Amino acid sequence: MTSPNEAFVAFEHVQKSYDGVSLVVKDLNLAIGKGEFLTMLGPSGSGKTTTLMMLAGFETATHGEIKLDGTNINLVPPHKRGIGMVFQNYALFPHMTVGENLSFPLEVRGMGKSEREAKIKRALDMVQMGAFANRRPAQLSGGQQQRIALARALVFDPKLVLMDEPLGALDKQLREHMQFEIKHLHESLGITVVYVTHDQGEALTMSDRVAVFNDGRIQQLASPSDLYERPDNSFVAGFIGENNKLPGVIEAMGQGTCTVRLATGEVIDATPVNVTQKGQKTMVSIRPERIEYKPEMFPEGAHVLDAEVLEFIYMGDMFRTRLRVAGSEDFVIKSRNTQGQRMLTPGEKIKVGWHPQDARALDP
Residues 289-338: pLDDT tens digits? 999 988 888 888 888 999 999 999 998 889 999 999 999 999 999 988 88
DSSP per-residue string spanning 152-166: HHHTT--SEEEEEST
Whole-number Å distance between alpha carbons of 140 and 144: 6
Percent of the chain with pLDDT over 70: 99
Chain region(s) in the chain for CATH 3.40.50.300? 4-234
Q: What b-and-e string marks burial along 4-13, b requiring 16 or more CB atoms within 10 Å of the CB?
A: eeebbbbbbe
Q: What is the pLDDT of residue 270?
A: 94
pLDDT at 274 over 90: no
Angle at 51 between CA 45 and CA 56, to 5 degrees: 130
Question: Greater confidence, 341 or 65?
Answer: 65
Q: What is the pLDDT of residue 136?
A: 92
- DSSP annotation of 361: E
Residue 2 has a pLDDT of: 61
The pLDDT value given to residue 3 = 57
Determine the Cα–Cα distance for residues 238 and 281; give it in Å rounded to an integer.
Answer: 17
Which of 361, 162, 156, 173 is CA-nearest to residue 269? Answer: 361
Q: Which helix (H) or strand (E) holds 103?
A: helix 98-108
Distance CA 206, CA 40 (A): 12
Residue 306 to residue 278: CA distance in whole angstroms: 26
CB 47 within 8 A of CB 24: yes
DSSP reduced 3-state for 149: helix
Please say whether the dihedral angle defined by the alpha carbons of residues 237, 243, 249 and 254, taken in this order, is positive or negative. negative
CA distance 149 to 220: 30
- Please work out, in degrees rounded to the nearest 5, the angle formed at the alpha carbon of residue 286 by the alpha carbons of 307 and 204: 135
Nearest to 318 by CA among 331, 332, 337, 333: 337
The average confidence (pLDDT) of the chain is 91
**Nearest alpha carbon to residue 90 among 145, 52, 49:** 145
**231 close to 271: Cβ distance less than 8 angstroms:** no
Given this structure, which CATH class describes domain 242-362? Answer: mainly beta
Cβ–Cβ under 8 Å, residues 62 and 51: no
Contact 285, 231 (CB under 8 A): yes
Residue type, 67: K
Superfamily of domain 4-234: P-loop containing nucleotide triphosphate hydrolases (3.40.50.300)
Element (H, E) at 25: strand 25-32
Per the CB < 8 A criterion, the answer to whether 113 and 105 are in contact is: no
Rounded Cα distance, 140 and 149, in Å? 12
**According to CATH, where is 2.40.50.140 located in the chain?**
242-362
Of 18-32, 36-50, 158-172, 348-362, give the lowest mean pLDDT range. 158-172
The backbone torsions φ and ψ at residue 4, rounded to the nearest 5 degrees and listed phi first, read: -55, -30
CA dihedral 89, 91, 95, 99 (to 10 degrees): -110
How do strand 83-87 and strand 160-164 relate by DSSP bridges?
A: parallel
- Comparing CA positions, the residue from 53, 7, 343, 48 lying closest to residue 212 is 48
**In a 3-state reduction of DSSP, which class is residue 286?**
strand
Specify the pLDDT at position 245: 93
Average pLDDT over residues 58-72: 95
pTM (2 d.p.) = 0.87
Give the H or E element holding residue 282. strand 281-286
Calculate mean pLDDT across residues 235-240.
90
Q: In what order do the strands lie in the sheet with 217-222?
A: 83-87, 160-164, 192-197, 37-41, 209-214, 217-222
